A = this chain, B = another copy of it.
């Protein structure tokens, strides 16, 4: 059973008493060639009987198109990425493409390996959800002429097609929401990545404060790496400090996942003792009591849009439009986790 030889076009042609050329034309829908119905049927049934499956290797070698696009994902376990991937698959399936998903573990080295592998595989396109320091990898893809769209997180200082969540707006509107309800001392936990995404959320937070004439206090802001554990840790530190803050924004849902149990166990009542808001809408959100005020992140939309852009480029690379950049805003959803201060 192992190492069985694959059925080839030649086998099919022989069984149908014709040439490989004709067999190939027939099995590709018979364009550009006249074939009698009889021969056509003969080829088709031969293929069926032999369980012929075209080799994408040989086909891709000649025909340039592989029928595969790839998505690189920093963290499989993060719903935002899985939602994004899901909607990419939706679009890809419409075009008859296979999607391969690859985990980069938010690790530049891993990402490099994955990207090298994708180049080797000569995939038709890549949707890159970058980890930190993805510039090199992005450039490599570009140099190889592999169509690439960057999604969800930006790559620093590069010219490219991208689709991003509007991070500025998300942080801005949530901060604004708290300010309007009388909060002025607002803690903000966010991601420490050295990229635009971070700056945007932070900028949104600051912009809202500024508009309301509230001073920005660096000691209220924590920048931490992207793990649940860190969310737990900084929340514990926050409690120990007995900060004057009346409100807390988890700038990444993943920090809330670690932090909220800490608050609960410490007996902090939400929103009586502390108002809490989150950027992001993970699956466990409906499990929270009280319901958390949050901004949804439109990952599915980002995925759909990124895939559309990618296929526009792949299928029609001649009239190459200039760089396209899209920002998709989230939506503020009000829960019961924010107290109104008079």
Contact = CB atoms under 8 A, between A and B. Distances in A.
A320 interface: yes
Nearest to A317: B2
Identical subunits present: 2
Interface residues of A, number: 65
A116 B145 CA distance: 28
Contacts of A284: 257, 283-284, 287
Given A145-B1, A261-B286, A283-B257, A122 B56 contact: yes
A114 interface: yes
A202 interface: no
A26 interface: no
A98 interface: yes
Contacts of A313: 2
B86 A144 contact: no
Contacts of A99: 102-103
Contact of A144 (B4, B85, B142, B257): B4
A68 B121 contact: yes
A342 to B, nearest CB: 29
Contact of A53 (B89, B116, B288, B317): B116
A51 B79 CA distance: 36
Contacts of A93: 113
A58 interface: yes
Contact of A4 (B54, B55, B113, B145): B145
Given A56-B120, A144-B53, A77 B283 contact: yes
Most chain B CB within a 10 A radius of its CB, from A6, A83, A140, A147 = A6
Contact of A101 (B83, B101, B120, B144): B101
A286 B318 CA distance: 52
A36 interface: no
A56 B121 contact: yes
Given A261-B287, A284-B287, A2 B103 contact: no
A85 B76 contact: yes
A51 B143 contact: yes
Interface in A92-142: 93, 98-103, 113-114, 116-122, 140, 142
30 contacts: A1-B145, A2-B320, A4-B144, A4-B145, A6-B144, A51-B140, A53-B116, A53-B119, A53-B144, A56-B120, A57-B60, A57-B121, A57-B122, A70-B100, A76-B76, A77-B283, A82-B82, A85-B103, A86-B103, A98-B118, A98-B121, A99-B103, A100-B102, A101-B102, A228-B283, A257-B283, A257-B287, A260-B287, A284-B287, A287-B288
Interface of A: 1-6, 51, 53-58, 60-61, 66-68, 70, 76-77, 79, 82-83, 85-86, 89, 93, 98-103, 113-114, 116-122, 140, 142-145, 147, 228, 257, 260-261, 264-265, 283-284, 286-289, 313, 317-318, 320
- 4 nearest CB pairs, A to B: A4-B145, A100-B100, A2-B317, A284-B284
Given A5-B145, A101-B101, 19 more contacts: A1-B142, A2-B145, A2-B318, A6-B144, A51-B143, A53-B119, A53-B144, A55-B61, A55-B120, A57-B58, A58-B61, A89-B103, A100-B100, A257-B287, A261-B286, A261-B287, A264-B289, A283-B284, A287-B287
